Amino acid sequence: MAIGFHEQKEKRLLTLSFYVAGLFVFVALGFALITHSAAILFDGIYSLIAFFMALLTLKVANLVQKPDDDRFHFGYTAIEPTLNLFKSLIIIATCLYAIVGSIDSLMTGGNSAEFGLAIIYGAIATIGCFAVSSYMKYQGKNLRSDLVGVDAHTWFVDGVLSASILLGFCLAYFIEKTSFAGYAPFIDPLLLIVLGTAILPIPAKIMLESLNEVINKAPPEAVTLVIEKKLKQTLVAVPYEHVEVRISKSGRDLYILVHIIVAESFSVATISELDDIRISCETAMREWNPSILMDILFIKDPKLAG
């Protein structure tokens, strides 16, 4: 299968994410050692996870472009939601670990850090993460790639994390200059608790969406109704009593199994006429949504559609 423009663009975006994630690991861990900040260390660990996930994502991006074969009869696209599910679980586990560790730090007197240098890190990380997230989201908006979409979300989460760290360090820096300086060590762990809790809903949403795809759950009813309406518009020339539609999403592909329960007046002379209906229907549906893959069956007995 030849790699087209969209696939090449997807690989370029994921490669960019991989290299920038690697750079952020060194920057974050270096600043964590200098400033003794647990929040920056957490940000560095998050970047390290993003780095390894980006490596896996690149591998998966190559796999999902392959056609079906003897090992994977329906292609490799099911690997895509599986990877996104794995990534979301890793992020959730990291957040929970950070929250628990921060609570323990609060109980033992907090954590002192070099807030001046930490502010510099926070500014660099915030600008960098939001820039990568925005670039990937903008460049990937016309791609049928959940991999790029989840990666853009991951960078956005890292950007929120870095921005919150920056604000917290600014607050701690000024508190150190006041009579409330004794409270400054509590800022670092408090930041981690707030950040970890605030971030959790994002990977949790990705986890649920990916899990639905892994277990082959149908898309939301609002989505299926739109698809069914569009499908029936392509069948206006076909006399039928009912159309039974089953839909599942797997990564970038939207698979539709259609049972057309034909009316008594339905008649064809050759199998080629059925093929023409299938081709016409699928062409119209793919022009509307290129991610659609279809199988169409013509039946008379409604029980066969059950």
pLDDT digits (tens, 9 = 90+) for 174-185: 887 888 778 777
- The pLDDT value recorded for residue 3 is 37
Q: Kindly state the percentage of the chain with pLDDT values over 70.
A: 90
Q: Rounded mean pLDDT of the chain? A: 81
- The pLDDT value recorded for residue 253 is 78
Task: Report the interhelical angle of 146-175 vs 5-35 (nearest 10°).
Answer: 20
Three-state DSSP state, 72: coil
Per DSSP, helices labelled H in 36-114 are: 38-63, 79-107
**What is the identity of the amino acid at 218?**
A
For residue 192, name the pLDDT band (cuts at 50, 70, 90): confident
- The pLDDT value recorded for residue 136 is 87
Overall fold of domain 221-305:
Alpha-Beta Plaits (3.30.70)
Higher-pLDDT residue of 59, 90: 90
- Mean pLDDT along residues 148-152: 80
Q: Kindly provide the residue ranges of all beta strands, DSSP E only, lying in 164-226, ordered along the sequence.
A: none
Higher-pLDDT residue of 209, 73: 209
Q: d(Cα 261, Cα 88) in Å, to the nearest integer?
A: 41
pLDDT digits 0-9 by tens, 77-113: 777 788 788 888 888 887 888 788 778 878 877 666 6
- The pLDDT value recorded for residue 127 is 93
- The pLDDT value recorded for residue 130 is 93
- Mean pLDDT along residues 102-130: 82
Q: Is 5 a residue whose pLDDT tops 60?
A: no
- The pLDDT value recorded for residue 201 is 87
Q: Where in the chain is the domain with CATH 1.20.1510.10?
A: 5-214
Q: Is 129 a residue whose pLDDT tops 50?
A: yes
- The pLDDT value recorded for residue 2 is 38
In this structure, of 43-52, 81-90, 205-214, 221-230, the range with the lowest mean pLDDT score is: 43-52
What are the two backbone dihedrals, phi and then psi, of residue 113, each rounded to the nearest 5 degrees? Answer: -145, 160
Burial class (CB within 10 angstroms; exposed 0-12, middle 13-18, buried 19+) of 95 = buried
Overall fold of domain 5-214:
Alpha-lytic protease prodomain-like (1.20.1510)
- The pLDDT value recorded for residue 144 is 64
Q: Is 268 a residue whose pLDDT tops 60?
A: yes
Higher-pLDDT residue of 53, 133: 133
Give the pTM.
Answer: 0.66
For residue 279, name the pLDDT band (cuts at 50, 70, 90): very high
In this structure, of 69-78, 109-118, 131-140, 295-304, the range with the lowest mean pLDDT score is: 69-78
- The pLDDT value recorded for residue 64 is 66
Q: d(Cα 165, Cα 256) in Å, to the nearest integer?
A: 46
What are the two backbone dihedrals, phi and then psi, of residue 244, each rounded to the nearest 5 degrees? Answer: -100, 125
Dihedral sign (CA 249, 250, 251, 253)? negative
- Mean pLDDT along residues 285-289: 87
